[in-house]
Amino acid sequence: MPDVTTGTFDYPGLFAALKRLMDDYAAGLANVPFASPERQALSKMDGTPENIAAAVEVAVGSSLELNRLFSELSDGMLVVDSQGIAVRVNKAGAEDLELLAEQVLDRSVFDLEREGHFLSAVHARLLREKSQRTYLQTRNGLEESSVTVTPVLDAHGQVFRSVSSSRRLADITAGIKYNRETTDHRQERNQMFPHDTAIIGNSELMRQVLDTANQIKDVDSNILITGETGVGKGLLTRYIHEKSYRHSEKLIEINCGAIPESLLESELFGYEGGAFTGADKRGKPGLIELADRGTVFFDEISELPLLLQVKILSFLQSKRIIRVGGTKNIQIDARVIAASNKDLAQLVREGKFRVDLYYRLNVVQIDMPPLRARGHDILLAAEYFLDRFEKKYHRQCKLDDALRHDLLSYAWPGNLRELENFIERFVVTGQRRVGDICDINSAPAVPPLSTAPPAAPSPAPPAELTLAELLEQTEAKAIRHAYERYRSSYKVAKYLGISQTNAHRKIAKYINK
């Protein structure tokens, strides 16, 4: 301590006092799991002045970090002391009270309760009853928020602080709905996956598809999956995600054709509070933001309006988004997979799809073969569906040789989805039965063979290619396609968005060998 007569300073005494303070601080955090970073840092502390100063720095940094974290929480939080005085409130908590933060702090919750502020009333009740409770906050006769208030006890078992957290019921309901829809969708996708998550099929074409998927599962290159409706493009996406190092994170599926165009931008990119009429004043993250650290799947990417194609291109280039009504760049670490049952190259030529987005997405292309080109995979899938629907409807059915022949002969324009529907009809609409056994003769007839010849299967990439070879193959395809159309390095460069020098070099490499 300073000596006013001599002007000296008791540095050893100061450091001893600081050490006692930091020892008490470390002891107080011993049973607090949330304080793991602080405990690890303080465990290395000894009595040297340097380490004591480092410990103080840890405490100060921790205080700053935690205050910022709780301030930005979407749940409303209010902290009250043992006398009922509000000592902390975050932004969302002040909004729940319909007050400014400065109108809340240092005021008695009993006074705020008398003014009709519900969040204060639950604290007043806790101080009287001293037990955790959950309440519904109502305004104008409408249920709006769920509020949980919790007592924090000191070493003597007395209420030291009262902490409340509130969340709007609309947000809870939306979260439940999203989880339920996601679960239902996953169950629907699971219908084509055995328990080991392997896609049904052992044909050569499917083995090539899976070999390619396994080669690229742990790299972050963009993937474009093409194929007819119902071939299982979404299932292949799930396979890649679940086999990748991102498997423990979210797979967010976005059906670009199912979201109304007026809502598409805010659904994809989210919005800031007050961005438009009816928007939640707290704002909302978009589907792309929810995929952070995981995988985002743009299904039916061809249905994106041209204006949003520009924004998706910007996201692919920078891995950043800006919410609607916002100005802050949000960094997103997400693997991108897109799928289309339309010819995107043709849409590019028609001016309906951006060429730069097409080539940004089409780093690695995987063509899912149609069911008619997969031979006996048809029977494997039919048996799988048969087993599932037998269990679902508690019936037993059998595919005889005649029906198997018909299944292999039909062109299946609707692919796996059509086959699934047929097998379900076969199980549930049989008319003549012996007990619970379906009579094969009562099964609905397989549709007649298509008069049009089956489309040739899309060639899958060879199984032994490296990622570099796959990328080179895709580049060669793009160069050849552009050169066949324009026959000019200048026009090829303009079409592909590259320099003429680069176009000339690639034409020489892939065409004028």
What's the pLDDT at 173? Answer: 53
Residue 481 has pLDDT above 60, yes or no: yes
Can you say whether the dihedral through the CA atoms of 383, 387, 393, 399 is positive or negative?
positive
Q: Is 112 helix (H, G, I), strand (E, B) or coil?
A: helix
pLDDT band of residue 253 (cuts 50, 70, 90) is: very high
pLDDT band of residue 438 (cuts 50, 70, 90) is: very low
What's the pLDDT at 441? Answer: 41
Residue 262 has pLDDT above 90, yes or no: no
d(CA 389, CA 404): 17
What's the pLDDT at 168? Answer: 66
- Give yes or no on whether 75-171 and 221-368 have one common fold: no
Let me know: does 395 contact 366? Beta carbons within 8 Å: no
Class of domain 75-171: alpha beta
d(CA 265, CA 260): 10
Nearest to 370 by CA among 466, 489, 457, 480: 457
Residue 136 has pLDDT above 80, yes or no: no
High-pLDDT (> 70) share of the chain, %: 73
Record the pTM: 0.50
pLDDT band of residue 66 (cuts 50, 70, 90) is: confident
Residue 484 has pLDDT above 80, yes or no: no
d(CA 169, CA 148): 13
The Cβ of residue 416 has, within 10 Å, a number of other Cβ atoms equal to 26
Question: What average pLDDT does this structure show over 353-371?
Answer: 93
Residue 411 has pLDDT above 80, yes or no: yes
Question: What average pLDDT does this structure show over 221-246?
Answer: 92
What's the pLDDT at 464? Answer: 57
What's the pLDDT at 2? Answer: 47
pLDDT band of residue 137 (cuts 50, 70, 90) is: low
Question: What average pLDDT does this structure show over 185-199?
Answer: 45
Residue 358 has pLDDT above 60, yes or no: yes
The residue type at 129: E
Computed over every residue of the chain, the mean pLDDT equals: 77
d(CA 375, CA 206): 11
Question: What average pLDDT does this structure show over 209-214?
Answer: 92
Instruction: Tell me the pairing of strands 295-299 and 251-255.
Output: parallel
What's the pLDDT at 274? Answer: 66
Cα 340 to Cα 89, 230, 300, 353, 422, distances in angstroms: 48, 11, 5, 12, 24
- List the strands of the sheet with 142-153, edge to edge: 86-89, 76-81, 159-168, 142-153, 133-139
Give the distance from CA 149 to its chain's centroid. Answer: 31
The Cβ of residue 241 has, within 10 Å, a number of other Cβ atoms equal to 22
What's the pLDDT at 432? Answer: 24
pLDDT band of residue 512 (cuts 50, 70, 90) is: low
Query: 249: which 2 tokens?
Result: 């994170």
d(CA 474, CA 503): 15
Residue 287 has pLDDT above 60, yes or no: yes
| Topology (CATH level 3) of domain 221-368 | Rossmann fold (3.40.50)
What's the pLDDT at 480? Answer: 79
What's the pLDDT at 330? Answer: 92
d(CA 121, CA 268): 39
Residue 370 has pLDDT above 60, yes or no: yes
What's the pLDDT at 139? Answer: 52
d(CA 51, CA 235): 55
pLDDT band of residue 194 (cuts 50, 70, 90) is: very low
Among 30-34, 105-109, 297-301, 447-451, which stretch is predicted with the lowest mean pLDDT? 447-451
End-to-end CA distance of the chain: 85
pLDDT band of residue 439 (cuts 50, 70, 90) is: very low
Pick from 109-118, 155-164, 227-236 the range whose average pLDDT is largest.
Answer: 227-236
Instruction: Give 364's strand partners.
Output: 223
Tell me which of 469 and 103 has the higher pLDDT: 103
pLDDT band of residue 291 (cuts 50, 70, 90) is: very high
Tell me which of 263 and 34 has the higher pLDDT: 263
Residue 296 has pLDDT above 60, yes or no: yes
Domain boundaries, the chain: 12-71, 75-171, 221-368, 467-510
Can you say whether the dihedral through the CA atoms of 71, 76, 80, 84 is positive or negative?
positive
Question: What average pLDDT does this structure show over 319-334?
Answer: 90
d(CA 86, CA 315): 43
d(CA 337, CA 208): 18
Enclosing H/E stretch for 169? helix 169-190
Enclosing H/E stretch for 288? helix 287-290
Question: What average pLDDT does this structure show over 420-449?
Answer: 54
What's the pLDDT at 369? Answer: 92
